[in-house]
Structures are given as C-alpha cells and as structure tokens.
Chain A
C-alpha cells in the first residue's frame, strides 16, 4: 500500500497498462500539456511519447470517432473528456457508433474503448453545464459497461479492468474525490467489473451508493449508528449491476435506500429498486427509496446548489423514515 491521491492512482493504472500493452493510448484535450488540467496524465507524455499521449484540439466528435476507429483496428484507447458534461458534443460517436458496433456487426467487431468522464458532479459552483453526473445515460444505452469509483484504490483497480475489457467502458469520475489521499495497492491490482463492495456491514438498512455519494452515505450511516445499523454498499460497477450482493443485503435487512448525486428519474437507483421489487419483493419490510439530487439543472447560487444536490442530511432523513417501526 501507498498513500496517494485518487487522481494519481488512476494515472498509475494508465501508466501500468500502457507499459503492459503497447496498444493502449490516451487521447483528449490537453492530456499532453503539463499532465492535463486535473494532473490526470502527469508523467505519461514523458514516459510514453506523443504517439501514445495524444493531445487534441477541442474537437470531441472527431477524437471520439478516432478512438472508435482505432479500437476497431486493434488499439485500446482511453478517451478523456475534461468534464463529463462535454461528452454530449460527441454523442453520435458514443451512442450510435461505439455502443452498437459489436452487435451490428454480428459480434465480430471489438470496441475496447474506455470513455473517461472526468470531473463529474456538482458542489463547486460551476453552474449548470459543468456539474452533471451522466451515468444513467450510458447505463440506459445498450452496449456499455459503466463503472464509477468512489476511492483511490478502486480508481486504479477499475481503470485497469476497464482498459482490459473488450467491451466499451464508461468510466464515471467524481471530481470531489480527485485530490483525496488514500491507500492504494502497489503494482498489479485490479477491481473486477460487476462486483460491489460492502463499505460498512450492517443489519437493519441497506444503503447503496456509488462515486462521491458513497462518502455521503458513509457519513449518514455514522450519524445514525446509535439508532440504526446501516449496511453501506458501494456499487462500483453500475452496469452490469451486482445483483447478488444487492439481493443478499436486502434479504438480510428488508430495507433499501439508494443514494446518488444524479436525479432519481430514470436513474441507477430507479433500476436497483425495480429489480429488488421484481425479484425480492417478499423480503421487503418497507417501500424502497431513491434519495438523489433534485430533478433540475444545477444552479449557481450557493444556497440553491446546496439545496439541489444530495446531502448527508437528505440520506439521514430517509434512513430515519424507512426505519420507523424498528427504532
């Protein structure tokens, strides 16, 4: 183990994979200048050269298409969006090309692209166009694997797995954890795709989360620990969902809350609830709940933004509500 920032842990994964596999390259705006705007590609240019650390003009459509074409012809691109929000400019390449190639061509085409959505999420007063979490879009599009690390070790381990995946992976990053210093395993370390992790075992309420919201979930569970015993689970992979872990927990607790930073409408939370209701209905002791940010673009003003974005208190409130009768 060593202590490192989340962002550096992901860079380490990139470096190790680029070292291991010559076909891996990184492409995006400013990735070759000063280690990128988030320090997310620090040292890569010096080590691997401009052919494998490709800085681009502000042409998201073109460089995402480039990644798709390169993947079809044997390379393994990691395409970086400086903010997740900017992926919309490249949505044809993402949604019609990358997502569909494998099926359309009868399972013959490989599309090992990692789409790295940097700096997702609100809370930094950057306004409506720089504050979104977009994981639901890509989970909804058939064809993608979607992962969302909540900590530095998972950032490293999931990035390595994402690069090795032959399916296209959307890698959803939370800006709020970028510079948190945490323990990260050294050398070869992968986190399997499709496996959730129990962050805090508990008996009475299942609290599922992913990305930055895991920290809020953990805090909420701590705040109520004298009253309710909450199990906090980090989904880590959003598609495919680790229903085994989810179901096991719900069978034990009978109470389910899903907490995330994107709005509840058509969300990962909504999907988890759908599956639990369909397949573990008999185990439920209370209606399952999704607690999320409000269904509105993110406003600039502090108070409005704070009101809009999922808070620890929002989660605490839901825990107390769902626990009526057991506390």
Chain B
C-alpha cells in the first residue's frame, strides 16, 4: 500500500487506512476467539477516524504515546500491519519482538513509543518527548492519545499544567468514546468538554467529530501548525464510539440502541464513503478491501510460521 503525502491525504488514503484498522482488528478478534492470540485484547473498531485523522497530520519523527487500546493508533502511525500481527501472535518478528503483546506495541522508526497497560501511563511520557523535541529543536511533536477515563487521572492535569508552563510541542488527543471499561463518561467526569480543561491551563484546543476523519484531520492539522510554530501545547477533543466490548469478547452492558445508532449513522467508513460517492466508488472500495485483506492475510500467514522469540537470547539479554 502506498502512503499518500502527509500534506494532503486523499479520501482514498483515509478510507484505506481506516479499513486497514477495521479489518486488522476483525482479524485479531477472530484469532483471539480461536485462542491464537492470548491475554488482553482491546479493540477500537468504530473509532478508526481518530487515529487515522490525527496521524495523517503528523510525520514519522513525531512521537506518539498510546494507550491500552492501541492497535488503531499503531497502524495509523506506522502502517506496519505485519509488525502488529506478529506481535499479537507472540512472534520474534513482532514490533516488540513478541515480548509486549497487544498493550505494548513499539516502533521507534515510525515514531510509536508505546502502548500502555496503565490508564494515563503515556500522558506524561509524551510531555517528555515534547520536551526532548524542544530541547533538541528538531521540530518534532510529542503526542499522547488518552481516553475519557484516563482524563480523570491526576497525571493529565499535572501534565497539561507543566506543558503549558514549558510551552513545549505537546499534543494531547482525548479519544472520548463515552465510556471507561463499564463506567459511562457522564458518571465519571464532572466536565466532559475537555476544551474547557485546556482553557483552564491556557492551552489552545479544538473539538471535532471523531467519526469524521476529515474533520479530525482538519483539527489535527491546525494543532500541528500551531505546535510546529512553537506556540505551545494543544488539546484535541474528539467524540467517538467503540463498537466492541471493553476487552476481548466480554459481555457489553451498554445500551444496544445507542450502539446501533453509532454503527448506522456514525460509521467513519460510511461517513467518508458517503461524502465522496464518485471518488470512493463501490468498485474502488471493493478493490481497496481486497488489497487490505490480502495484506492482512499475508501478514498473519507469515506471522504464523515466524519463529517465536528465542529463549536463549531472552536469557542472555535479561540475565535470567
């Protein structure tokens, strides 16, 4: 798959990478059900516009710090479907050499500095990457994705304050899917409009429809321009919805009507396809689908036969 230019991604680019995330995660889910993938699996199906829109505005050098729900972020930032498949299958060819698993993806070359098993764990690290960029004056940005649940960790508030004082290129992206595990955002959060939070810390911010990849991209582009101009940190507030349960295939206690509404009326793939019926014709979409699926299938097939991490090497490198 070709990567379109960062400056002006096409509708095709957006569609392709959102579909790549969706189909990759559907594949991961299948593998999980088959017990080929073990451990925790937090799917982001339904949320694809957030990572694709944001990461399309970034360059490889910018450093992204992700969450426990990181597959979409990883694929959008790195385009490395092979690395993620192999990682979740526990292979030595995985992006964390098979040592990390779903929550601990890593790809330095492509600026992905880690999934995180701790809610809020990556937020202050992204501030560190922003500081590093400022320190080295290399024009890069430190980016953190965080959920509506993570927004209630004290570390977010401390980090926003410090980022504002330091005026470093720190981008905080709130991926508000309305729920944290089983707790609805209204129950966990006194002020759900994070732009107000940003304002309290004198940080510029924008809200956008997290189901509309172009809207996300437009907001992220403004943020990136602001950051690269050295104008201090920025916060994006994006509303989205995860379609799958919190983790794996556990039962979902949310209102099914609400979920159906999101699936029918706010599917990021339909939103963009509906906007460009000619550019994204059904033939082109089918072709993209075939290409994406072929790449995913090949990645899985390759991972299935790839070697596991070597025990001897593990012992040597970690002194165990």
Interface flag for A189 (CB, 8 Å): no
Q: Are A127 and B117 in contact (CB under 8 A)?
A: yes
Cα distance, A303 to B182, chains bound together (Å): 33
Q: Which of B49-57, B97-105, B224-232, B292-300 participates in binding chain A?
A: B97-105
Interface flag for B118 (CB, 8 Å): yes
Least Cβ–Cβ distance between B242 and chain A, in angstroms = 16
Q: Are B320 and A89 in contact (CB under 8 A)?
A: no
Given the known A-B contacts A57-B183, A129-B116, are A300 and B100 also in contact in the complex, defined by CB atoms under 8 Å? yes
Q: Are B154 and A58 in contact (CB under 8 A)?
A: no
Residue from A61, A295, A296, A300 within 8 A of B104 (CB atoms)? A300
Q: Are B149 and A300 in contact (CB under 8 A)?
A: no
Binding site for B on A (CB under 8 A): 29-30, 33-34, 37, 55-62, 85-86, 88-89, 124-130, 294-296, 299-304, 307-308
Minimum CB distance partner of A300 in chain B = B101
Minimum CB distance partner of A294 in chain B = B320
Interface flag for B220 (CB, 8 Å): no
Q: Which residues of B contact A85 (CB under 8 A)?
A: 117-118
Q: Are A304 and B253 in contact (CB under 8 A)?
A: no
Q: A37-B182, A58-B150, A304-B311 are in contact. List 20 more A-B contacts (CB 8 A).
A: A29-B183, A34-B253, A37-B181, A57-B180, A61-B153, A61-B154, A86-B119, A124-B38, A124-B39, A125-B39, A127-B101, A128-B100, A128-B117, A130-B40, A300-B101, A301-B90, A302-B90, A303-B309, A304-B309, A304-B314
Least Cβ–Cβ distance between B190 and chain A, in angstroms = 9
Given the known A-B contacts A57-B152, A61-B154, A85-B117, are A301 and B99 also in contact in the complex, defined by CB atoms under 8 Å? yes
Residue from A30, A296, A300 within 8 A of B90 (CB atoms)? A300
Cα distance, A296 to B314, chains bound together (Å): 10
Least Cβ–Cβ distance between B48 and chain A, in angstroms = 24
Cα distance, A160 to B306, chains bound together (Å): 51
Cα distance, A242 to B320, chains bound together (Å): 31
Chain B interface size, as a band, is 35 or more
Q: Are A296 and B318 in contact (CB under 8 A)?
A: yes
Q: Which residues of A contact B150 (CB under 8 A)?
A: 58
Given the known A-B contacts A55-B187, A89-B120, are A34 and B38 also in contact in the complex, defined by CB atoms under 8 Å? no
Chain B, residues 91-112, CB within 8 Å of chain A (1/0): the string is 1000010111111100000000
Minimum CB distance partner of A36 in chain B = B182
Q: Are A128 and B183 in contact (CB under 8 A)?
A: no
Q: Are A89 and B118 in contact (CB under 8 A)?
A: yes
> Which 7 interchain pairs have the tightest Cβ spacing?
A129-B117, A300-B101, A125-B39, A57-B152, A125-B38, A57-B188, A294-B320
Interface flag for B308 (CB, 8 Å): yes
Interface flag for B189 (CB, 8 Å): yes
Given the known A-B contacts A30-B182, A127-B117, A296-B318, are A57 and B39 also in contact in the complex, defined by CB atoms under 8 Å? no
Q: Are A295 and B320 in contact (CB under 8 A)?
A: yes
Least Cβ–Cβ distance between B195 and chain A, in angstroms = 19
Cα distance, A294 to B320, chains bound together (Å): 6
Least Cβ–Cβ distance between B99 and chain A, in angstroms = 4
Q: Are A89 and B153 in contact (CB under 8 A)?
A: yes
Can you identify 19 A-B contacts, CB atoms within 8 angstroms?
A: A37-B182, A57-B149, A57-B183, A58-B150, A58-B153, A61-B154, A62-B154, A85-B118, A89-B118, A125-B101, A126-B40, A126-B117, A127-B101, A129-B104, A130-B117, A300-B99, A301-B99, A301-B308, A302-B38
Cα distance, A123 to B320, chains bound together (Å): 17
Cα distance, A34 to B38, chains bound together (Å): 25
Q: Which residues of B contact A295 (CB under 8 A)?
A: 319-320
Residue from B103, B152, B309 within 8 A of A129 (CB atoms)? B103
Q: Are B38 and A299 in contact (CB under 8 A)?
A: no
Residue from B91, B152, B181, B314 within 8 A of A299 (CB atoms)? B314
Least Cβ–Cβ distance between B40 and chain A, in angstroms = 5
Cα distance, A85 to B311, chains bound together (Å): 26
Q: Are B39 and A300 in contact (CB under 8 A)?
A: yes
Chain B 124-154 interface residues, beta-carbon cutoff 8 Å to A = 149-150, 152-154
Q: Are B311 and A307 in contact (CB under 8 A)?
A: yes
Q: Which residues of A contact B117 (CB under 8 A)?
A: 85, 126-130
Least Cβ–Cβ distance between A293 and chain B, in angstroms = 9
Q: Which residues of A contact B183 (CB under 8 A)?
A: 29-30, 33, 55, 57
Minimum CB distance partner of B149 in chain A = A58
